[in-house]
Structure 1
């Protein structure tokens, strides 16, 4: 039973990243949380793979590719399973035990499928690529609900194309499909400026773009073009320039004192600090204040990142952020969803008694149960 469960879960990872021409088949499984029948593992058949059929059916799948300046990407693929009943918890604990006992069985199977994907991308792009350092671990996390998390990590060399100092990211994933539980996060060095992102992402950050499923990328999607900001000066050059500026200030102060002969200069503090020293101290104070502000902004947040939430959890968060009730049309606007998709997600939450709905005039209003009587 545990071997079938392990094989099915590993297969999900392979299906996600194997594009249409190279995807293996995942063995069918029963209801969520039920063990897969023996023998229904990965079949080496050239058939369209069913989506997410496994003994441990992931609630959230997050794929991240962090691209460095030479085009190599550090990848993580996370499968998050909400541990909300005994069967699902037992199934994930079985997978977790298998990872501890024989992680190589997971990584070798994953690496075999990913190697085919990398080879297909290599043929399509004409760049020499390699898959390196595949690792796996299985953990539990509070987000704030309890999740089982199966994580694969690996390096994909030459994942992105380089054009001088410019990065062109995404041609290795052309035509990728994300189902409704999945999201893709592409990131690049934070000192790079973003020139273009196609298609429009659901979320952007400092050097990152996130797409959430369902999403069916076209033959020339996704695509990101990024280049070093400020005309391409590398970080080392900027650091050297800063050192030269400090040296110039200090040298100017010494020259002035040597000419006046009194050891002081305009702007000196009462305790004998020169203008250059005062500037340095002021800069240190500003840096300390900025660090304090940064710690205050980041500290004490227990909320999980947006990309780790299911659509239903995102709606619950939005309703809470708006005092417990919100118009359904605003939900659609906030997430850029169609009316049909919004109605589907709200309907699921209503069936689970997580929200209640009612009408005010022509508007549907979504409310938390404790707010609906107000």
Structure 2
């Protein structure tokens, strides 16, 4: 392995673990544990230096998704998923061979992964001063439709004390200082429910409900990545839900005041008739006004001009949400160039936003001629 492009030791170790482990598995068509040792060149590509006799074809992963879900004690549940698009017979046959090998000898895969990953955890332990451990390493190989068919080799493990618990805050990322992502990889850091993000560096490529995502190629600095989160006030309810409850309370209180002010409350003796008459006149007046506002009543008893809730205004949406809304408004499918024109984005920014949605399986992309097309999963027939 040539390490000239990896300035930080942990980035070399993590890249080796996360990429070389899949090399023999996918590159040797199911002979990952037969003794061939993978190597990584300066650009992060996978090569099998000692291909076994049965080696037929190499299948490089189309995407590598690394996700760390941090608990409130700083321990993280990790998932490393290698996705291979099964778009031809060779790729499908190679991955099915991997499935057979995983089923026949899962331990061979997990032991190889754990050996490299333990070195990474030990390096992070020395640098941060926190006692850490690698636990519960498992592996699965399955086919999934996203909606295209992919072969997915997934490693799961627990990394104790991955993040620093500082009082009621969690400081996430120091275990990965200087981490390197190649162009096919993405890193997701997630935090517990009830916590809110206070700071993040560098700026993520995408934000989700309780997570941030960076996509490669990217090389983090010596103090990156970093995410600081803290409990969000102790209510456990999302801010938007609390705001909705507050609006509802105000509306109910206002309705009660209006009812009482128009005579809906208890009347004094001798005034009930006048109050009732006044209330009836008010109701009739309001009914006429309502008819004028909503138009004629349909046969089903509903107003003919009922208002439609179009959701939150455009300026309150994230870039990803704006793309999803645009897709929904255009039948679930649109050319990528049209997205750039609609929002006056550069091609690079458009590709970044679409890539984030694709990583989250929110959209699918494909080509028609020379055009890139973006589609909602349920609208794609690929």
- Given the superposition, is the C-alpha separation of residues 97 and 332 from structure 1 closer, same or farther in structure 2, using an over 3 Å criterion? farther
Which stretches in structure 1 are left out of the alignment for 5+ residues?
Answer: 1-16, 236-265, 267-296, 298-305, 307-315, 343-351, 358-364, 369-374
SS in 2 for 1:81: strand
Residue 106 (structure 1) shift: 0.2
**Distance (whole Å) between structure 1 residues aligned to residue 23 and residue 117 of structure 2:** 23
Distance 1:103 1:367, change over 3 A: closer
1:161 corresponds in structure 2 to: 164
C-alpha deviations, 1:220-267, integer Å up to 9, x for none?
Answer: 11100000111xx386xxxxxxxxxxxxxxxxxxxxxxxxxxxxxx9x
Distance change >3 Å, CA 143–CA 113, structure 1 → 2:
same
Aligned counterparts of 1:68 and 1:37: Cα–Cα separation in 2 = 36
C-alpha separation in 2, matches of 1:108 and 1:205: 33
Q: What is the deviation of 1:179? A: 1.2
TM-score, normalised relative to structure 1: 0.58
Report the Cα distance in structure 2 between the residues aligned to 1:318 and 1:215, rounded to whole angstroms: 34
- What is the DSSP-based 3-state SS (H/G/I as helix, E as strand, rest coil) of the residue aligned with 2:147? coil
CA distance in 2, matches of 1:318, 1:334: 19
**1:96-120, CA deviations, whole angstroms, 9 ceiling, x for partnerless residues?**
1000000000000000000000000
- Aligned residue among 85, 91, 114 for 1:88: 91
Match of 2:228 in 1: 225
Alignment of structure 1 residues 95-244 onto 2, 5 Å: 95-230=98-233, 233=234
Distance 1:115 1:332, change over 3 A: farther
Q: State the secondary structure of the residue aligned to 1:326.
A: helix
Partner of 1:256: none
Partner residue of 1:337 out of 348, 351, 355: 348
Pairs within 5 Å for 1:229-308: 229-230=232-233, 233=234
Shift in CA distance, 133/353, structure 1 to aligned 2, threshold 3 Å: closer
Q: Does 1:354 align with 2:367?
A: yes
Q: 1:90 to 1:319 in 2, by over 3 A?
A: farther
Whether the aligned pair in 1 keeps the contact of 2:29 and 2:97 (CA below 8 Å) is no
Cα distance, 1:34–1:172 mapped onto 2, change above 3 Å: closer
The answer to whether residue 78 in structure 2 is matched with residue 67 in structure 1 is: no
Aligned residues: 255
Counterpart of 2:12 in structure 1 is 20
RMSD, matched Cα: 4.2
Superposition deviation, residue 332 in structure 1: 10
Aligned to 2:337: 326
Give 3-state SS (helix, strand or coil) of 2:46's partner. Answer: coil
Taking a change above 3 Å as real, the CA distance of residues 353 and 176 of structure 1, as seen in their structure-2 partners, is: closer
- The answer to whether the Cα contact below 8 Å between 2:29 and 2:98 also exists between their aligned partners in 1 is no
Shift of 1:19: 2.1
CA distance in 2, matches of 1:165, 1:74: 20
How far is the alpha carbon of 1:337 from its aligned partner? 2.3
SS in 2 for 1:20: helix
- Indicate conservation of the 8 Å contact 2:63/2:184, yes or no: yes
Aligned mate of 1:42, from 37, 40, 43: 37
**Mapped contact 2:173–2:224 kept (Cα < 8 A):** yes
Structure 1 residues 324 and 340: CA distance shift in structure 2, 3 A: closer
Partner of 1:261: none
- 2:74 paired with 1:51: no
Deviates further, 100-109 or 212-221: 212-221
